[in-house]
Amino acid sequence: MGSLEEEPTPQTNHSKPPAVRLIEYIKNSTISFRTYQAIVLILTFFAYTSYHAARKTTSIVKSALDPESSKLGFSLSPWPGNHFHTRTESNQVSSALGNGWAPFNGTDGTVLLGDLDLAFLGVYSMGMYFAGHLGDRLDLRIFLTVGMVGTGVFTSLFGVGYWFNIHNFYYFLIVQMFAGLFQSTGWPSVVAVVGNWFGKKKRGLIMGIWNAHTSVGNISGSLIASALLKYGWGWSFAVPSLLIAFVGSVVFLLLPVSPESVGVEIEVDELQPPKKINDEEIIEPLLGSEKEIQKEQAVGFIEAWKIPGVAPFALCLFFAKLVAYTFLYWLPFYISHTAIDGKYLSDETAGNLSTVFDIGGVLGGILAGHISDHLDARAITAASFMYCAIPALFFYRCYGHISLYMNIILMFIAGMFVNGPYALITTAVSADLGTHSSLNGNSRALATVTAIIDGTGSVGAAIGPLLTGYISAKSWSAVFTMLMMAALVAGLLLTQLVVAEVKAKIETARSRGDHPSTTPAIVEV
Which of 112-121, 241-250, 467-476 shows the highest mean pLDDT?
241-250
Are 205 and 354 members of one domain? no
Are 259 and 335 members of one domain? no
pLDDT, averaged across the chain: 79
Lowest mean pLDDT among 257-261, 294-298, 462-466: 294-298
pLDDT of residue 11 exceeding 80 = no
Query: What is the reported pLDDT for 293?
Result: 38
3-class secondary structure, 318: helix
Whether the predicted model's global pTM rises above the 0.95 cut = no
**pLDDT tens digit string along 39-81?**
999 999 999 999 999 998 998 898 889 875 444 433 333 343 3
Are 245 and 340 members of one domain? no
List helix spans (H) across 136-168.
140-163
C-alpha 152/C-alpha 239 separation (Å) is 9
Are 157 and 200 members of one domain? yes
Query: What is the reported pLDDT for 224?
Result: 93
Which helix or strand (DSSP H or E) is residue 59 part of? Answer: helix 33-65
User: Judging by beta carbons within 10 Å of its beta carbon (0-12, 13-18, 19+), is residue 184 exposed, middle or buried?
Assistant: buried
Are 259 and 322 members of one domain? no
* Within a domain: 293: no
* Within a domain: 289: no
Query: What residues contact 110, with CB distance under 8 A and at least 6 apart?
Result: 66, 69, 72, 469, 470, 472, 473
Are 344 and 221 members of one domain? no
pLDDT of residue 279 exceeding 50 = no
* Within a domain: 402: yes
Question: Looking at residue 147, which CATH number applies to its domain?
Answer: 1.20.1250.20
* Within a domain: 184: yes
Tell which residue, 165, 218, 243, 167, has the closest CA to residue 365: 218
Are 342 and 260 members of one domain? no
3-class secondary structure, 167: coil
Are 477 and 386 members of one domain? yes
Q: SS3 for 131-143, per residue?
A: HHHHHCCCCHHHH
* Within a domain: 444: yes
Are 243 and 389 members of one domain? no
Q: Which of 239, 264, 289 is the last residue of a domain?
A: 264
Are 356 and 207 members of one domain? no
C-alpha 248/C-alpha 190 separation (Å) is 12
How many domains does the chain divide into? 2
**pLDDT tens digit string along 499-508?**
988 888 888 8
Tell which residue, 247, 123, 249, has the closest CA to residue 182: 123
* Within a domain: 411: yes
SS3 content of the chain, % helix, strand, coil (to 5): 70, 0, 25
Q: SS3 for 281-292, per residue?
A: EEEEECCCCHHH
* Within a domain: 362: yes
* Within a domain: 90: no
Are 165 and 309 members of one domain? no
- Domain coverage including residue 311: 299-508
Tell which residue, 169, 56, 185, 162, has the closest CA to residue 116: 169
Are 150 and 210 members of one domain? yes
